[in-house]
Amino acid sequence: MSEKKAGRPVEENPRDVRVTVRFTKEENERVEELAKKMGMPKARLMRNLALGGLDDAEFLQKVGILPLVKNIRDYVDKLKGI
């Protein structure tokens, strides 16, 4: 007879890598407000946003325009004084 362990089953690809991000108080309030409106934990919202941005960047790289987009973003940031 096989032994069954109590608890959740082991995941194939567990999320066991922790990433830390620093926000200003205002940025954190914006994130918390959006997470609340969407009915999800802040960590899940941040993971979704990060992975969505990663998917977009990989697509731009695949079609060959990521360097152009980066240059435009740098230019806009320069205009804003960031």
Q: Dump pLDDT digits (tens) for 34-80.
A: 999 999 999 999 999 999 999 999 999 999 999 999 999 999 999 99
The residue with tokens 């079609």 is 63
**pTM assigned to the model:** 0.69
The residue assigned the tokens 């089953």 is 9
pLDDT at residue 15 is higher than 90: no
What are the residues whose beta carbons fall under 8 Å from the beta carbon of 41, sequence distance 6 or more? 35
Q: Hey, where are the domains in the chain?
A: 25-80
Q: What is the mean pLDDT of residues 9-14?
A: 85
The residue assigned the tokens 């004084």 is: 81
Report the half-sphere exposure of 9 (CA within 13 A, side-chain side): 3
Confidence of residue 7 (pLDDT cuts 50, 70, 90): confident
